[in-house]
Amino acid sequence: MSAAPEIIDVGDADFYADVLERSHRTPVVVDFWAPWCGPCRQLAPTLERLADEAGGAFVLAKLNIDENPEVARQYGVQSIPLVVAFRDGQPVDQFLGLQPEPVVREFVRKLAPSEADLLVAQAEELAGSGDHETASASLNAALSLEPRHTGALLSMARLLGSRGMIEGALEMLSRVVPGDPADEAEVDRLSAELRMREHGERDEGELRARVASEPDDLDAKLDLGRSLGARGEYEEALELLLEVVRRNADFADQGARKAMLDLFEVLGAGDPLTRRYRSALAQVLFH
């Protein structure tokens, strides 16, 4: 087999990282094969030659099903050779059995980035350089081609959010079609961050003065907690919000509890503050 970096061996242990995660950056074509399979040995040189020709446009990952039965079982592999293409962590196309080179060539050709993909990549580069207007135009063009393009919707949400257009950003996220767990996690995280930002423009000094002068003003404590969360002062925000929950869990349509859940989403499940305050919240609500 070629030692080219676009041709790799994968197995049960590294399939997630080398195929699913990698396919978010570059399409990955998985060749399910076994040493005893004659058609597999005939197909392999064609796949490897096309991978070499592509020069990194896709990765060919070869998986020996005899040595790696778990992945083969997960994807229901019953006959080989089976070739499956992955993009964005999901299988998007496949073929079974020995196929002539023109068929295989067309199979890998379709993995090339779509016009919408290219527009999103262009938009992200433009946004990174500060050209938000042109980036927005590129994203709108991508969405006119593929209205449910996940990358375009996420990028547009980030762009709108950075410009303070929170409602529009959340509307973009609502259009993302569920499917890929990584995309769903990013939608949840970004939605929580945007909801926090809605409260980031409040006058912190005024809110602190209200809390100091009226310790029982739950509305002021809720607003201050939200505002501090939007500014990244997470521990103080969570402490204030937890106090509101202790006083009245249903206050403002459970606003403090919802704000805490948003902060947990922004911080991530593994953050020490998330673990500490999630436990404290549960104790207040369920004990």
With left for phi above 0 and alpha for psi between -120 and 50, is residue 254 left, alpha or beta? left
Strand arrangement, sheet containing 28-33: 7-9, 59-64, 28-33, 82-87, 90-96
The CA distances from residue 233 to 31, 224, 282, in Å, are 49, 11, 22
Question: Which active-site residues does the annotation give?
Answer: 37, 40
